[in-house]
Amino acid sequence: MKLKLTTLALSALMAAGPAMADLVFPSLSYRTGPYAAGGIPFADGYADYFTLLNERDGGIGGVMTKLLECETGYNTEKGVECYESTKGEGALIYQPLSTGITYQLIPKVTADNIPLHTMGYGRTSAANGKVFSNVFNYPANYWNGASGVVNYLLETNGGDLKGKKIALVYHNSAYGKEPIRTLEELSAKHGFELLALPVDHPGQEQKSQWLQIRRERPDFVTMWGWGVMNQVAIQEAANIRFPMENFIGVWWSGAEHDVMSAGDAANGYKALTFHNVGRDFPVFDDIQKHVVETGKAAGAGDQIGTVLYNRGMYAAMLAAEAVKTAQEIHGTADIDAAMMRDGMEALEMNEEKMAGLGMSNFGPTFNVSCENHGGPGLVGVTQWDASSKTWSLISDFKPTDGDVIGALVAEDSGAYAAENKITPNCN
Binding site for other proteins (CB under 8 A): 7, 10-11, 14, 29, 31-32, 36, 40, 69-71, 73, 75-77, 80-81, 84-85, 87-88, 99-100, 103-104, 106-108, 110-112, 123-125, 172-175, 177-178, 180-181, 198, 200-201, 408, 412, 415, 419-421
Closest distance to other proteins from the beta carbon of 419 (Å): 6
DSSP secondary structure string for all residues of 178-225: HHHHHHHHHHHHHT-EEEEEEE-TT----HHHHHHHHHH--SEEEEE-
User: Are the beta carbons of 17 and 89 closer than 8 angstroms?
Assistant: yes
Question: For residues 171 and 270, which CB has a smaller minimum distance to other proteins in the complex?
Answer: 171
Closest distance to other proteins from the beta carbon of 174 (Å): 4
Q: CA-CA distances (angstroms) from residue 279 to 47, 52, 334?
A: 17, 16, 33
Closest distance to other proteins from the beta carbon of 179 (Å): 9
Closest distance to other proteins from the beta carbon of 343 (Å): 23
Question: For residues 87 and 373, which CB has a smaller minimum distance to other proteins in the complex?
Answer: 87
Question: For residues 29 and 65, which CB has a smaller minimum distance to other proteins in the complex?
Answer: 29
Burial 344-367 (b: 16+ CB within 10 A, else e): bbbbebeeebbeebebbebbbbbe
Distance separating alpha carbons of residues 76 and 79, to the nearest angstrom:
5
Closest distance to other proteins from the beta carbon of 316 (Å): 17
User: Are the beta carbons of 425 and 345 closer than 8 angstroms?
Assistant: no
Question: For residues 200 and 285, which CB has a smaller minimum distance to other proteins in the complex?
Answer: 200
Name the packing angle between helices 402-419 and 142-156 (round to 10°): 160
Closest distance to other proteins from the beta carbon of 365 (Å): 29
Closest distance to other proteins from the beta carbon of 23 (Å): 20
User: Are the beta carbons of 95 and 47 closer than 8 angstroms?
Assistant: no
Question: For residues 83 and 210, which CB has a smaller minimum distance to other proteins in the complex?
Answer: 83
Closest distance to other proteins from the beta carbon of 84 (Å): 4
Question: For residues 173 and 267, which CB has a smaller minimum distance to other proteins in the complex?
Answer: 173
Among candidate residues 124, 127, 121, the one with its CA nearest the CA of residue 96? 121
Torsion of CA 88, 91, 97, 100, to 10 degrees: 40
Question: For residues 9 and 240, which CB has a smaller minimum distance to other proteins in the complex?
Answer: 9
Distance separating alpha carbons of residues 98 and 176, to the nearest angstrom:
11
Is the bond leading into 202 cis (omega within 30 degrees of zero)?
A: yes
Question: For residues 13 and 240, which CB has a smaller minimum distance to other proteins in the complex?
Answer: 13
Distance separating alpha carbons of residues 22 and 31, to the nearest angstrom:
25
